Amino acid sequence: MRMTPVPPMKVEQYVAYLRAFGLVAGVVLALLTDFPDAARVALAWGTLVFLVIAGGGLAWWGRRTHWTSTAMVHVGFVVDVALISGYVLAYAHLDSNVSWSVVFTLLADAALRYGVRGAVLGTVLGALLYTAQAQLQGAAAGEPVGVTAYMFVFSTLVGIAGVLGTFSFVVARQAAAARAQALALADAQRVRERLIATSSHEFNGSLTAILLGAETVRNNVERIRPESARSALDEVAKQGRHLQRLVDDLLAAAQATSDDVGVRVRVEDVATTIDLAVAAAGRHQRRHRLEIAVDPVVCELDHERLQQIVRNLVENAFKYTPAGGLVRVTATHGADLLEVRVSDTGPGIAVTDRERIFEPFRRRASDPERADSAGLGLYLVKQIVDAMRGSLDLRTSAGGSEFVVRLPAPERSGVRPIGSQRRVGTAE
């Protein structure tokens, strides 16, 4: 039976103190006890020598590792079993209340270390140890121990094991809940810090560009050429749209964190939604080849959320695909299910990043300070897909990545779609 130890720090520190007390008590008891034979004397003093060596070694180990070694829990338990067995057998000739009561320390030791399973193990070991002690005591007294004594000790072991097992289970569950809460709080603090840092950077960059464009036009209103003014105002509008999308993403992230992602279903052409999403992602396109293939279908789903999904996936593809690479967007429909695929010919996603790229404000390890990424896109995609009761799969290799989104989308017959279509193009 595989035992999972409790966190070792407290258990091992406290047991180390108990071993020191056991050493003092053992020396006093060995000096005051009349043993029936030399073998018992050797066992009593041998147990004390073993306690000095093993207990001292464990104490040294604990201080070196700051009592954090999991292996020390297992080694400490084996040492304690040997020590308790030595004490019980060495003093088996004494009054049974003195010797068999020590058996219960073995039960407590196992339960504290291994919880409910430890309580079961301690009960079995305690029963075996008491049986050996009773046999020795009966031989020394010339009269076997009665069945009533066995029943009393065994039932007491079971009762105490139940109490200790329940106590250990409750404590372990509370400790697990406390650790989970601490991790959640740490994660929330990490997200908060990233939110502040990322938002400040994103807003500052766009606001600087907006102010620069506006001041350029205002300060040169009489002599600026129309095309220069138009270019400056286009940049202002571009940065304004970027800020609007950033605010939308932050709002969606807040809704996702509170499990409040709204879904508003309406009937609309899928091709139109895909076109709008790709156009919104165009600011990140750098001479990429772009292929779009969409089934001509009108269906029921939240087209605004679909647009958000596709925009973020296409933006992600543009960002991480070298200029001149291929980004492909396809959408197919069948059996009331819409499947959208966004693939690229970029470097792929590292194994270390694959499990974490869907976390908020998480960038790839290869470029953690990327200026054009808030680290929200894939997190929002995952949250929105979950809210729409869809699925999201990632396939990646050194030759590129592909995100596959599947969403429930009943088709509406009798409504003619606007577009079709397969389109291929390259943009500057």
Virtual CA dihedral for 86, 87, 93, 95, nearest 10 degrees?
-150
The pLDDT score that the predictor gives to residue 407 is 95
Q: What is the pLDDT of residues 194-221, one digit of tens each?
A: 667 666 766 777 788 888 888 888 888 7
* Mean pLDDT, residues 136-144 taken together: 80
Is the pLDDT at 370 greater than 80? The verdict is no
**pLDDT for res 339:** 96
Q: Are 35 and 93 in contact (CB under 8 A)?
A: yes
CATH code: domain 266-426 is 3.30.565.10
The predicted pLDDT at position 186 comes to 81
Looking at residue 33, its amino acid is: T
pLDDT digits (tens, 9 = 90+) for 19-66: 899 899 889 989 988 888 899 899 999 999 999 999 999 889 888 887
The lowest-confidence range among 126-130, 167-171, 380-384 is 167-171
Residue 350 has pLDDT above 50, yes or no: yes
Question: Which sequence spans correspond to the domains of the chain?
Answer: 8-145, 196-257, 266-426
How is residue 90 written in tokens?
């060495």
Half-sphere CA count of 251, side-chain side, radius 13 A:
9
pLDDT of residue 24: 92
Structure tokens at 408: 């429930």
What proportion of the chain, given as a percentage, has pLDDT over 70?
84
- Are 81 and 121 spatial neighbours (Cβ–Cβ below 8 Å)? no
C-alpha 292: how far from chain center:
37
What are the tens digits of pLDDT across the range 246-287?
A: 777 777 666 666 566 677 888 989 999 999 999 888 877 888
Rounded to whole angstroms, how far apart are CA atoms 387 and 408? Answer: 11
In this predicted structure, the answer to whether residue 369 has a pLDDT above a threshold of 50 is no
d(CA 209, CA 308): 25
Instruction: Give the pLDDT of residue 402.
Output: 95
